[in-house]
Copies of this chain bind each other. A is one copy, B any other.
Amino acid sequence: MRGMNTPTLEDHLRDLGLAARAASALMARASAEQKSRALVHLARLLIEQEAALLQANQQDLDQARSKGLSGPLFDRLVLDHKTLVTCARGCEQLAMSPDLIGEISGLTQQPSGIRVGQMRVPIGVFAMIFESRPNVTIEAASLSIKSGNACILRGGSEAFESNKALTALVQEALLAAGLPPLAVQRVDTTERQAVGLLIASPQWIDLVIPRGGKGLIERISKESKVPVIKHLDGNCHTYVDASADVAMALKVVDNAKTQKYSPCNATESLLVHEAVIEAFLPEMAKRLLAKGVELRCCEHTLGVLQDALPKLGVAEGALGALKLATEQDWYEEYLAPILSVKAVAHLDEAIEHINHYSSHHTDAILSENHSHVQRFLREVDSASVMVNTSTRFADGFEYGLGAEIGISTDKFHARGPVGVLGLTSLKYVVLGQGEVRT
């Protein structure tokens, strides 16, 4: 916590802001070698200092238990050997990946003789506001270092001691590489007003990245005076077209829904072309019911399934997991073993439904019809549009982008998984030999 010599929250945040601005100028001109050295050093510290880190984490866990925290919220708070090793490997991978800062692209000569291109540069200072999982400290810090930015981290109060210990290691690693330790800082208080002050400080902060519940993100988006990279929710669709390969569709939809229920890229809504309902849906439903998935169906598909499933040997009792969907279901991100199911009469209806109800995160078509695939790719207005594969692939590592700091459902600046590139900007460089404008 802030000491007695730091009387107000405003003073504390101004100190953080001033230090971040100063550090960002140094980070912007740091060499690739220095940034890699800091990341490799950090990886080593995460392994070497495991005992101290787990001890700090234990304080948070004790505190959480005394407050009655349990279940997934408690689990997400836990730092263990495996998490630390994963964090360390992530830092090493980033260290070895190419440094994109300073790269000049598209340098072409213009009729006047000047050569014009674009140079990739850091954004400056970003603030990351997150809840619960302390390893986000390392993910954010390592991406910040690699991209040549400075950052201010504001983790959840429940992980205060863990985040404090992790940030101290990051600063030690920066110092060891000859970089400014205050390039990564944390808000040293659990006072709630800190978030409001951070997002109202464009003089210090160029970008805000909230990660957490929908309520937190909506509030920050609404109130921020600083650009926000936001990821609201993932109401992802898979549309099974009339021409879909049924065997492939059974496999892909199963994966998209049941491989894991909690990620934002899991499919929450299944659209099925009327022509393929008989051939596909009963068998699909049978498999999903067997895994304990509840199906919230439109009238048409509900009727088909209630009729067909008993003939496939599904017990009467299991049919209780078939329910009639409400209008609200089409908007829902369940993050649970629930799937909404809807019949559509044609491709246009599928595209319109998705563009209306989707959260513009990730939507997929399963189809062998080339024209339909082209139209779906072009007309569905989501950060990721997929063909003949599982929405679960929407992820920075699966896209070959490396670690991600979030998945943007915005259209502005960064869209989809946001990694190092999303933390940079392009400025124009113009090289002349004395040309003047006439």
Contacts and interface: CB of A to CB of B under 8 A. Distances in A.
Interface stretch (A36-44, A317-325, A423-431): A423-431
A284 interface: no
Interface string A410-438: 01110111000000011111111111111
A116 interface: yes
A293 B254 CA distance: 74
A147 interface: no
Interface in A53-110: 102, 108, 110
- State the 7 A-B residue pairs at the shortest beta-carbon distance, nearest first: A389-B432, A255-B436, A248-B434, A392-B437, A386-B430, A384-B428, A413-B413
A433 B28 CA distance: 42
A371 to B, nearest CB: 13
A157 interface: no
A388 interface: yes
A430 B385 contact: yes
Contacts of A428: 383-385, 394, 399, 415-417
Contact of A412 (B259, B411, B425, B438): B425
A134 to B, nearest CB: 26
Interface string A106-141: 001010101010010101100000000000000000
Interface residues of A, number: 68
A219 interface: no
Contacts of A411: 123-124, 206, 425
A112 B398 contact: yes
A116 B400 contact: yes
A364 B433 CA distance: 12
Interface of A: 25, 28-29, 102, 108, 110, 112, 114, 116, 119, 121, 123-124, 206-207, 222, 225, 227, 245, 248, 251-252, 254-256, 259, 355, 364, 375, 377-379, 381-390, 392-394, 398-400, 411-413, 415-417, 425-438
22 contacts: A29-B378, A102-B378, A112-B393, A114-B398, A116-B398, A116-B399, A124-B381, A206-B411, A222-B225, A227-B227, A377-B429, A388-B433, A389-B431, A389-B432, A390-B432, A390-B435, A390-B436, A390-B437, A399-B428, A412-B412, A416-B427, A417-B428
A400 B108 contact: yes
Contact of A434 (B124, B389, B425): B389
A28 B379 CA distance: 7
Given A206-B411, A251-B436, A415-B427, 4 more contacts: A121-B381, A227-B227, A252-B434, A412-B413
A432 B238 CA distance: 13
A383 B426 CA distance: 8
B227 A387 contact: no
A392 B112 CA distance: 12
B389 A114 contact: yes
Contacts of A207: 412
A429 B389 contact: no
A399 B245 CA distance: 48
